Structure formats: C-alpha cells, structure tokens
Structure 1
C-alpha cells in the first residue's frame, strides 16, 4: 500500500513538473516569432557591406541559443536531440567574413529558422493544453470548498464551473479530481510529443550525423590512446614502486641468507622468514594490480555475476536483473563492468539514494545497461562526478550513455554497447588466486 502511494506521488510529481514545463513552453514559444521577424529583416540586410557581416552571425547566435535550449528541454523528456552545428573556424572573429560564411553555409542554421514558426504554434498549443486541463480540474475540485467559504452569493467560476447549491458543488469535486488526475497523466506525454516535433527540425540530418560521427570517432580515438597511455604509466608506476621494490628487497635478503647459511643458521632462518613475508606482500600487491586491470570475478562469473558480486558489497540496496544468453568479448565485458562500477560509486557518493537497480540486457546486437536510483537527482556530467570518464570508456567501443536526472530524481543512466554475445564460457581462475 505504501509503495502504491509512493508511486502515485511520483507520478503526480512528474505530472506537475510537466505542467510547469508546458507553461514554460508557452512563454518560450512567444519569443520564437520576434526572433523569426528579426532574422528575416537581418537576412534582408545581409548584402549591405559591413552591416550584414556583423548582424547576421549575431542574430543567428540568438536563434541557436533558443534552439539549443529546446534541444536540452527535449532531452530532459528522454528524446535525445544532439547539436548539429559545424565547428567554428579557428580564426573566426566577430564581424569577419569567416564567421559570416560559417553561419550561413551551415544547413542547421536554416533548419533552426524553419522551426521557429511551427515550433511556436505546436509548443504553445500543447503547452496550453497541458496547463489548462489540470487547472480546469483543480477549479472543479475546489468549487465546493470555495462556495462554502464565500457563501451562497457566489455562483462559481463563470461559465467554466457554475454552482448554485452545495449538492452541485460536491458533485463537481469527483469530476474535478478525475480531470486533474487525467491532466497530470497526459502532461508528460504532451511534452514528449512537443519534443519529438522539435526533433524533426532540430536534430542533425543524415549527412550531419555522419560528419558528427567522424568527428566523434576522431576525438574518442585520441581519448582512448591517451587513456591507454595513462593506464600503462599507472601500471608501470605501481610495478616499479611496489612489486619491483619488494622483489629487489627479496633478492637481497636471499643473497644474505646464502652468505649466512653456513656461518649463522639461526640468522639465516630469520632472514628466510622475512623473505617469506616480503614475497607474500608482493603477491598481494600483484593481485590488487591485476584486479584493477581485469577482476578475476569477471573472468570467472561473467558480467552478470560480477555485477551481482559488486552490488552485494554496497551499503545501498541494489537490485540486479540480468538477461544475457552469452558473454561479450573480454574488452567489451571489462568496459561494461568498470562503467557499472563507476556508476554505482557515483550513486553511493552523490545521490543520497536508499535503493537502486541495475538491468543488463542484450537485444538486436546491443548490450543495454540501465542503472537507476531514487536519490536526489541533479546529476551533471560537467560536475566532475565521473560521468565523463564513463562516456569516454564506452565511446572507445562505439558505445553511448544517456542521462536523465531531474533535480528531485529519479536518476536513470542508460548505457549501450554494440556487441555480439558469445556462447557461455568458463575461464580458468588466475593462478595467483
């Protein structure tokens, strides 16, 4: 019962936020038409020397700011709309020819302009529906209490809701409650419809997607090379400062034992005991180093078993659901495991969550991982919470990460990795275990 009430409360909260988003859509839609008028006037003045070079890029930057705001609002509803613009020239200066050319030759600029008018109509229309329907229900819900408070001289909210007796007012209460609940339920759906409509104009075209993909691959390749170099330096440093130092010390002790074996057997035995302790410590350090490269539990139990083992040791209740008929290649499996580990670490450190879940599924050649929590939300990849590192780790295998984390929660992180599952296999344990 308590769980049902909590779920109803969360749905009502999401509906209320969607109503506020609808109200914001109405306000933002009003700004589209002035932007469109100013853009048309400025483009008409583009042939004027110097004036067009200065005004056109400045005006288009305002249009891009408005379009990027709509892309972010659409992404918050779960409809991902990536930024499609060409990268700015390195030496483009305000008022210069390069900046003007960069602006007007980008197809995304004209798609932004084409969206302003229909985007205003659709955003305003859907926003008004999402706001007025719950308000109408709220008016009916409060009709009887207000009538009792104001007295019999008050006849309701004009022609919208009218009342002439307490019986009529009480009959309006359940009607208003149903309309209010329906409006709160429909409001998120209306926001998604508005987001999908914006995506038709503001998402990159097929050509732009290919260009962005090439750029992304170039960047991720460089990031992967840098990350691998940093990881190799870390392993080299750990080996040099830890295991190697202990092995050198062990070699020196064995040399001393060889010298004392005939002259001082008791001293030699003490040195052998020290050598045994030193070799044990070196083995422990080497095991820790190997776990950081590829955890033995991952090799033994696979991704699902390793994630379950990881979740058991956390102070927060984590439900793990696994639907993997096979195992990915070892590099993909390792990347997915460390991505989940980093995500759960962020959950413990930053979310203040009481429970969470991890879902692992494979379908249509995609390994999909969904990590959720009931924490405070507000996660931001730019805040340094490790999400950027997860993105880079997944990008090395052509994977993606999407984040939904409104300020009041819940946080939902969806990771997707293209891969083919192999038949279940058993990997022998490490000889050091």
Structure 2
C-alpha cells in the first residue's frame, strides 16, 4: 500500500472520529449540567449554614466532572488545558479549618469559571463540537427519507419537509424528490465530516479559555511547583551527600586506614623479617590500586569526566558500552545543553538503563536524544516484557521528581507484553557547541 493511500485513509478516519467525538462531548456534558444545577441549588442556600456546609463538596464534585472534561479535550483535540485551581490551604481541624477551606474555594476564580462553563457549554457545544455529528446524522436521516420513510411520514400527517425538499407524494416527480433529498443528505454528510476536526479544535479553544488557568492561578501553581521541586532537590542533594559519605567511609577510607596500619607493621618488620615486609608491601600496593579505583568510580558517579568533557551524547554512549544489554544510542544535538540539565538528564538515563537491565527482561535498548522547540527530548525504549508503572517501585517516580526541578516531565508507555518507552522532556537552552560528532 502506497504512503499516499495510507495518509488519505488516516485523514478520513480522523475526520470520521472527530465527528462522533463532538457528539460525545454534547452527550457527556449532561452529567456536568446536572452537577451544575446541584451547585446552583447549593449557591442559593449559601446565606445559611447548610449552604456553607454543602459548598465544598458541591465544588469538588463539579471539579471532578470538569477534570474529566479537560482530560477528554486534551486527548481528543489539539488543545491542552492545565488544571487551573489555586492550591488549597492545609487541612485544619474544627470549624475554623472548615471555614478557611470554604473561603479558599469560594474566592478561587476557577470555581466560578467552572460554573459559567456548565451554564453556557451546552449551547456552545451544539454549534461547535456537536455540529458536524448532527449534520452527519441529518444526512443519514435524509437517506432514510429517500429510501422509504418520506412517504410514510406524509401518509400519517408528519412533517413533509427535509431542508427545502418536499419528501411526500404529491410534490413533483418521485425521481426528483428522491434525487433532491439524496443531494442534500450527501452534502450534509460531506460537510459534517469535512469540518469535524476544525470544529472540535474550536471547541477545545473555548474550553481552554474558560477551564484553563488564569494568570493568578498559573502564578500560584508555579510557586507551589517551585516550592515542591526545591524541597525535593534539597532532599535529593542530601541523600546524594549521604551516599558519597557512606561510599567513602565503607570503601576508600577503610582501605586507606588499613594501608596505614599495614605500613606501620612493615616499618617494624623491615629489619626483623624483610621477606614478610616485602609481602605486606605487595598487598599494600594492591590495596592502594583498589582504593584508587573506588575513588575513580565515586568521582564518576558524582560527575563523569566524559560528561564534562564531551557532553551527554558521548557520555550516554560510554554508558551503553558498559551496559549488560545491547544499547543503541542516537544523539542529534546541535549544541550542548546547560550543564545542570545535562547532568540531570544523564543520571536519569543511567537509572532508566539500570532499571531495564534489572526488571524488564529485555535484550535490546534504544536511546534517542534530540532538541526541538527549546526542549531536550530523550526516549529510552526496550523490547522487554512491559508492565512498568510509575508507582511500581522501579525508581521512575524518583526520576520524575528530580527532573521536575528543571520543569522536566516524564511520560511512560509500558503495556503488558512490551515494549516499554520512557520519554523525558526538559526545557533548556543549548549553551556551547558539541565537541564530538554524535
């Protein structure tokens, strides 16, 4: 099958799916409208204690409904909507804590924008997302009228018009009525499918304008995110310092202490037992080599020299050479990312490769690195058994938290049976030309 035919089939399928998804938006809006009516009922009682008591639960119910709406808009259209709600205050016991939460919810602009949505959305959906699907259904109804239903409807006194066409007996020739009905029906179907993706995106932009964050909530959410990532970065740095201290204490430091004691023994044996002193010197030399090797490994774990000298592309390729699995690396980076981002990305890839070797059952791994639109994008794919999860104890959640310090995101696709694909995206600027070809 030629590539052009495949693209055409994909385009037709996209238009067909968009029409029915638009209808789904209108149908799925019914539960949100009902929740909105309940919210209105609670608002009408807000001057009483009962209204204050019910307001938080009604607000959270409305938010849960619209979270589902945002998710569908994100998945079904080309528009992306972030969750807009201001951070809630920490839970406090008693009436004071309850009123504090009530004030926070009622003063959040997103609460009232949600309510505006459920009031206006049925009308907006009717003339945007649902319009193509309704045109297609109207066209299908025209085919039914042309086939047999038109005469039946006229015979029993029903509406004898389809658009501008009389569909019952007594209005022109049968052939003319049928042909006119088929032409109008076909036009409705074609127009409906043709405009479906565009109207779906118009609806998505409407959703983003109402359900997306305001400047105030975006700033508050940004502050909250920075606070969380700063705390996580501090915790990660503290844990790394403890690891380095532990490795030094249990490894190189212990060997150096032992070497000092051995050298003291050699000092006493040089005159009494030169042969034994020579043997101890040989052991000390071996211990010094091991201590040096451990120190090099420790330094490499802090910041690999190849990463500092040649950049993340060559550093990951060096990592692949020592990996137990067959790892293929493709790096397409015109310049080097900023050093902190480069280091975070390197250790993230290193941990993902370690996870693949330990848990995936894979035989091959592919690492793709590229830079586009201000984003360093790294995809690690293995041919293992799949079934990985962010909360499955594989360390992926820790990676997500660490790259979150740089506003990075992690996406995981790991169906049972494989393959597993982990994608990292970190916003950054490219700082210096790469020193070696990728």
CA RMSD of aligned residues (A): 4.5
Q: What corresponds to 2:92 in structure 1?
A: 91
Secondary structure of 1:269 counterpart: helix
Q: What corresponds to 1:126 in structure 2?
A: 129
**1:69 to 2:57 alignment:** no
**1:100 to 2:102 alignment:** yes
Q: What corresponds to 2:309 in structure 1?
A: 300
**1:323 to 2:333 alignment:** yes
Distance apart, 1:132 and its partner CA: 9.7
Tell me if the contact between 1:323 and 1:362 (Cα under 8 Å) persists in the aligned partners.
no
Which region of structure 1 is more displaced relative to structure 2, 218-227 or 381-390? 381-390
**1:110 to 2:140 alignment:** no
Distance apart, 1:395 and its partner CA: 3.2
Distance apart, 1:246 and its partner CA: 0.7
Tell me if the contact between 2:87 and 2:221 (Cα under 8 Å) persists in the aligned partners.
no
Q: What corresponds to 1:206 in structure 2?
A: 215
Q: What corresponds to 1:150 in structure 2?
A: none
Q: Distance in 2 between matches of 1:161 and 1:266?
A: 111
Q: Distance in 1 between matches of 2:147 and 2:363?
A: 43
Tell me if the contact between 1:394 and 1:400 (Cα under 8 Å) persists in the aligned partners.
yes
Which is greater in Rg? 2
Secondary structure of 1:359 counterpart: strand
Q: 1:336 to 1:410 in 2, by over 3 A?
A: closer
Secondary structure of 2:423 counterpart: strand
Q: What corresponds to 2:53 in structure 1?
A: 54
Q: What corresponds to 1:81 in structure 2?
A: 81
Q: Distance in 2 between matches of 1:358 and 1:83?
A: 30
Distance apart, 1:236 and its partner CA: 0.4
Tell me if the contact between 1:130 and 1:186 (Cα under 8 Å) persists in the aligned partners.
no
Distance apart, 1:63 and its partner CA: 0.5
Structure 1 segments unaligned to the other structure (5+ residues): 140-156, 163-178, 427-433
Q: Distance in 2 between matches of 1:109 and 1:422?
A: 46
**1:217 to 2:217 alignment:** no
Q: 1:231 aligns with which of 218, 223, 240?
A: 240
**1:401 to 2:409 alignment:** yes
Distance apart, 1:160 and its partner CA: 8.7
Q: 2:401 aligns with which of 392, 410, 413?
A: 392
Q: Distance in 2 between matches of 1:352 and 1:81?
A: 36
Distance apart, 1:108 and its partner CA: 0.9
Secondary structure of 1:422 counterpart: strand
Q: Distance in 1 between matches of 2:430 and 2:277?
A: 57
Q: Distance in 2 between matches of 1:65 and 1:93?
A: 25
Q: 1:218 to 1:306 in 2, by over 3 A?
A: same
Q: What TM-score results when the alignment is normalised by the length of structure 1?
A: 0.72
Q: What corresponds to 1:342 in structure 2?
A: 351
Q: Distance in 1 between matches of 2:294 and 2:279?
A: 23
Tell me if the contact between 2:23 and 2:129 (Cα under 8 Å) persists in the aligned partners.
no
Tell me if the contact between 2:15 and 2:197 (Cα under 8 Å) persists in the aligned partners.
yes
Tell me if the contact between 1:403 and 1:412 (Cα under 8 Å) persists in the aligned partners.
yes
Tell me if the contact between 1:92 and 1:98 (Cα under 8 Å) persists in the aligned partners.
no
Tell me if the contact between 2:327 and 2:364 (Cα under 8 Å) persists in the aligned partners.
yes
Q: Distance in 1 between matches of 2:275 and 2:42?
A: 95
Cα-to-partner distance string for 1:270-298 (whole Å, 9 max, x where unaligned): 11111122112212221221121112221
Secondary structure of 1:30 counterpart: helix
Q: 1:368 to 1:316 in 2, by over 3 A?
A: same
Distance apart, 1:302 and its partner CA: 0.9
Tell me if the contact between 1:53 and 1:96 (Cα under 8 Å) persists in the aligned partners.
no
Q: What corresponds to 1:143 in structure 2?
A: none
Q: 1:271 to 1:229 in 2, by over 3 A?
A: same
Q: What TM-score results when the alignment is normalised by the length of structure 2?
A: 0.71
Distance apart, 1:240 and its partner CA: 0.5
Distance apart, 1:267 and its partner CA: 0.6
Tell me if the contact between 1:358 and 1:371 (Cα under 8 Å) persists in the aligned partners.
yes
Q: Distance in 2 between matches of 1:419 and 1:387?
A: 25
Q: Distance in 2 between matches of 1:91 and 1:269?
A: 72
Q: 1:56 to 1:234 in 2, by over 3 A?
A: same
Secondary structure of 2:431 counterpart: coil
Distance apart, 1:377 and its partner CA: 7.5
